[in-house]
Amino acid sequence: MNYLDLNLTLSEEDVALKTNAREFAMGMIRPISIELDKMTPEEGIAPDSLLWSLMRKGYELGYHKIAFPERCGGHSLTPLQQALIHEELSWGSFGLALAINAGTHAILPLIFQNQELINRFTIPYCKCADASIIGCWAITEPDHGSDTLMVHHASFRDPNIRAQCRARLDEDEWVIEGQKAAWVSRGTIANCIALFCQIEPSMGHAGSGIFIMSANLPGVSKGNPLDKIGTRDLNQGEIFFDGVRIPKDSLLVGPEDYEIGLETVLAGTTTLMAIWCTGLARAAFDEALAYARKRVQGGKPLVEHPTVKLKLFDMFCKVESSRQLSRAAFVYNRTAKKPALEYGVAAKTFASQAALEVTSDAIQIFGGIGISKDYVVEKLFRDARTTLICDGSDDILALVGGNLLGHTYPRKP
């Protein structure tokens, strides 16, 4: 469905960027995502997998560097233009949109203004056009998941909560020991890592730091790719650190600034997740509407039945509400001097729930055939279910948002 965009100020460039992204999503992302969904996790990342042709094409088109400025080799797109592109890519596949754009390791030096690490990691990543540089964000652990994101909560600073991955300084090098859980997106195929790990245990999770490092170092090993019900086209897996040594200047943010730094990062990731969830929900709505128009039941198309009309309109309202909130939060948090995490959390939790409800309703409109493998809506439903956990479970993020409202809201612009 070529939806009506309520923003009447979109420029010709904005529309062209959106159109090009949609063509890539329709022509390559969607069909490859369906094929990857049928494979085992090992088959999905094998050298001959379609994943790699997609990744190379995505990098060739520059979709891996949507968020980067021209001075680093990026496109210097406006936040609105970035949102438009991200929604189209995730319409093709939530998992593959994330796979192409999970360059967290490369964006962090820009966020925290570290020119040395920009030169070593960001610029090479932006110049990469063949998907030979793949990054990941390693934060969750076997015993620590979304609790590692609970900034400004008492538990975040509890000295009795010790991490499984820790860094200690040995003269001019950091020594990393421990494990990151199987939920590291692109974890088993990444060659660069943005590592969030504990430095000062007496400060709890707040005593952590953010490092940027190569994954091809002695002592770094990886587990098997994770087998999941949804987002099967997105590789995820464990990373182990056994006495891994990295230079002292690999630290971007230390314990003294970690909580504020993490809040800044989350303000960006939550809104990006919201945009991707919106694209996913829109994909399900489009499928349901198209099917309802052609499927005849009771002597007339489904779309002519009152109950189907009501369901479709409810889905439409959720998609459109998700788009407006996620886009507004995305643009604000990439424009304002101080991002507002509570709006990012609101966008992510609302959009992921909307995606789950819309994909579920799409299956209902399809009826029995909707739960078969013959139509993409059952895949979209499985993908949507993962979004309520991905990048922070919705219930924990809601606690973070509620806590922020109690202490920082309303913010000064």
Domain residue limits, the chain? 12-106+123-127, 135-256, 259-408
Cα 120 to Cα 247: distance, rounded to the nearest angstrom: 12
- The amino acid present at 28, given as its one-letter code, is M
Q: Name the band, by pLDDT with cuts 50, 70 and 90, for residue 90.
A: very high
Which pLDDT score, from 0 to 100, does residue 1 have?
A: 53
Q: What is the mean pLDDT of residues 143-165?
A: 94
Average pLDDT over residues 79-88: 98
CATH code, residues 135-256: 2.40.110.10
**Residue 413 pLDDT:** 67
What span, in angstroms and rounded, lies between the C-alpha atoms of 108 and 258?
13
Interacting residues of 31 by C-beta distance below 8 A, sequence separation 6+: none
Separation CA 176–CA 246 (nearest Å): 8
pLDDT, tens digit (0-9, with 9 covering 90-100), for 26-41: 999 999 999 999 999 9
Q: How far apart are CA 386 and CA 383, in angstroms?
A: 5
348 pLDDT tier (thresholds 50, 70, 90): very high
Determine which of 2-6, 65-69, 355-359 has the lowest per-residue pLDDT on average: 2-6
Domain 259-408 has CATH 3.40.50.720: no
Q: Which pLDDT score is estimated for 407?
A: 81
- The domain defined by 12-106+123-127 carries CATH number 1.10.540.10: yes
Q: Same CATH topology for 135-256 and 259-408?
A: no
Mean pLDDT value of segment 300-313:
98
Q: pTM of the full predicted structure?
A: 0.96
**For the residues of 147-169, what is the DSSP string, one character each?**
GGG-TTSGGGG-TT---SSEEEE
